[in-house]
Amino acid sequence: MNIVLLSIHIVITAILITLILLQNSKGGLQSGVGEAAMYRSRRGAERIVFIGTIVFAALFFVTSIVNLVIR
């Protein structure tokens, strides 16, 4: 059971890293420092990557807690 859960955790981690690297790097802390930050909604593939990142981050958190409890 522990090996299966650890394997799932590793796959979720790889997918989460990929989704984070696919995100647009123009937003964030630096965009609001020197200029007025404008609100822009996410559309299309950018929205799918954003929602996927949230989902896989939650799955990462859940598998981390379950892995800790099983040990």
Q: Do residues 12 and 56 make contact, with C-beta atoms less than 8 angstroms apart?
A: yes
How many C-beta atoms surround the C-beta of residue 29 within 10 A?
A: 6
Read off the pTM: 0.76
In tens, the pLDDT along 44-56 reads 888 999 999 999 9
Average pLDDT (30-42) is: 59
**Contacts for 54 with CB less than 8 Å, ≥ 6 apart:** none
- At residue 12 the predicted structure's pLDDT band, cuts being 50, 70 and 90, is very high
